[in-house]
Structure 1
Amino acid sequence: MEKIKSPKNIPLLSKTLLISLALFIALTSLNLKVNLIEIPFGFPEFIVPKDNPLTEAKIELGKKLFFEKLLSRDSSISCASCHNPKYAFTDGLVKAKGIKEREVTRNTPTLTNIAYNTSFLRDGVNPSLEAQVIVPIHEKNEFDFHILLAAERLKKKKEYVDLSLAAFGEVPNPKVISNAIASYERTLISGNSRYDQFTFQKDSTALSNNELRGMHLFNKHNCVSCHSGFNFTNGEVVNNGLYKDYPDIGKMRVTLDPKDKGAFKVPSLRNVAITAPYMHDGSIKSLEAVIDHYIRGVMITQTKIKG
């Protein structure tokens, strides 16, 4: 196991790095064109499944379903209950809450720029966005329902029948629900922050001197080794040594491989200023505390799985 050395003057470094992290909050999100999404300057295009091409009709239906409480057993919550646009599609809670205030075991991850992900859920065990959509519907502590039953509810609503026929040529069914919501979620693109203007548009005036110092320290102290690229994540599933004991065993819950114990996805830092609390379990309340946690030294295991 590798020990990260702790730099001197931790309080000052923490504050400066915090400024750097705050840069990653984006100023723009969705710009729809006909059947297309306008990609922010400097961002790559993302891959759309061949069997679920983006259309405006799918996006319209998916957005409505995203906010639809009929998908939960008691019709009390929707996807947006946990993935609130106000908080960059998180909820501000330590751990998410499902129907009847049931607590989920993990903190709600952002959906910002999820179109660029190659694996899904906090531990990266789900291979596609379409498949991921089904998970909360079936989870007992979330929607506690079944997608077949949800589809039956939607069939009784003329508006959903009409939207489904327009988007897919079919009445509501599990494929319609998962593909439509996935299509909408792919439009949640966040970019054009001042950091992006500085980096991609070469605007030398976009960042203050303190922010430039924060960016320098972010790179110098190797935060960028995990939080890299335009979306500030390397996409890996890794055990970062947050715990000595693992109440949540991470990716191992599916693979049953001991090397996956405590392994979770490296999160993006986009919009990080408004997605507190942090870590997969919501155990750290502030960015200052996150930075202190890492710069004081954590044990990094050899567990490292490409997501």
Structure 2
Amino acid sequence: MLRRFKILFFAIFLSCSTEQVPFDLGVYPNMEYPVDNPENSQVAALGEALFFDPILSIDSSISCGSCHKPEHAFADHLAITPGVNGVTSTRNSPTLLNVGYHPYFMREGGVPSLEMQVLVPLQEETEMHHDLVDAVARLNDSPYKNQFLQTFGDTVASFNLVRALANYERTLIDFSRPIDLLQLDAKPISDQGYKGGQLFFDKAGCAQCHNGPLFTDFSFANNGTPLNFTQDIGKERLTNEESDRYTFMVPSLRHVALTPPYMHDGSILTLQEVIEQYNAGGEGHAYQDARIEPLGLSKKECDQLLAFLEAL
């Protein structure tokens, strides 16, 4: 009798659940490697060692991994991560997971390749603040010299240094989140999360910018985050166009629940607060994108949207 009751209860539970049809995310991308930096496990292993070694910073105090921690989806939980000597910039550290699929890099999109991007934090005064020539000389005076000889058949040079780091970063791939299991019909997400997904792609309008398997279209916009009037004017510093002032590249929402705080400046602490800001229609300042307007979501719908974001 008890067994029959359990079976009946389970059948009723299933009948009350939302039928989950995979969302249309398009085709998942293939990783493309440059001709002069092909996929190579030995090169990637060397890049991984360099990534987590503070030898690349001017005072050997921080590494790439200081701001991009594996346990935090290769981001960190600080609004702004200090560089050498405690100097800070104006930007939050983004996740590096799936970064190899990006068409360009930095918040203003001014760097066209991953090989070029790895040079930015190395030399930036608010990060590692290291002259490239000196960094190469230091590596050639270290055990890395032999590792480069074994890997590249040559001593350390800027050319193979950036290729080792970029080769490693292209291995940082993760499409194993609950949303991916749903797409494979392998495992449903929670009913709460699925209803949040329906809101994401419809009423909330999130997919206007956050679409595709990476949940970004890599466009540039101002999302209504309150202006702090720092020197960080976004894409304008690249284009010198006033129309680009305070616009930043739309970030991927992959692993977004694992990478607080949020926005380019780390000014919003929780994902719930991010949803509240969008639901309110942003700050409403002159630079805000016209697509940002009040959403009219109820508290229940906001909770559903949060559950969906946690599945990404």
TM-score by length of 1: 0.81
Within the candidate set 209, 216, 222, 1:239 is matched to: 222
For the structure 1 residues 295 and 166, does the alpha-carbon distance in structure 2 shift closer, same or farther, using more than 3 Å as the test?
Answer: same
Match of 2:189 among 199, 203, 207: 207
User: Would you say 1:225 and 2:224 are equivalent positions?
Assistant: no
CA distance in 1, matches of 2:87, 2:244: 27
The structure having more radius of gyration, on CA atoms, is: 2
**Alpha-carbon distance in 1 for matches of 2:261, 2:97:** 16
Aligned residues: 259
The residue number in structure 2 matching 1:80 is 65
Moved more, 162-171 or 66-75: 162-171
* CA apart distance, 1:222: 0.7
Q: Identity of counterpart residues, as a percentage? A: 41
1:253-281 alpha-carbon deviations (Å, 9 max, x no partner): 12211111111111111111110000000
The answer to whether the Cα contact below 8 Å between 1:252 and 1:261 also exists between their aligned partners in 2 is yes
Computed over aligned residues only, the root mean square deviation of the Cα atoms, in angstroms, reads 1.6
Asked if structure 1 preserves the Cα contact closer than 8 Å seen for 2:108 and 2:238, the reply is no
> Does the 8 A contact of 2:224 with 2:281 survive in 1?
no
Q: Match for residue 173 of structure 2?
A: 189
Match of 1:64 among 39, 49, 64: 49
Residues 201-245 of structure 1 show CA distances to partners (whole Å, capped at 9, x for unaligned) of 123x42121111111111121111111111111111222232456
Q: Name 1:259's counterpart in structure 2.
A: 243
Question: Equivalences for 1:161-172 in 2 at 5 Å?
Answer: 161-172=145-156
Q: Give the CA deviation at 1:61.
A: 0.7
The 5-angstrom pairing of residues 31-50 of structure 1 reads: 43-50=28-35
Greater relative contact order structure (CA < 8 Å, 6+ sep): 1
Where does structure 2 lack aligned partners over 5 or more consecutive residues? 1-26, 292-312
**Runs of at least 5 residues in structure 1 that lack an aligned partner in the other structure:** 1-41
Letter in 2 for 1:182: A
Does residue 301 (structure 1) correspond to residue 289 (structure 2)? The answer is yes
- Partner of 2:118, secondary structure, is helix
Cα displacement (A) at 1:139: 1.1
Tell me if 1:110 matches 2:98.
Answer: no
Question: Residues 53-110 of structure 1: CA distance to partner in whole angstroms, max 9, x if unpaired?
Answer: 1111110110001011111111000000001111111111011210111112100011
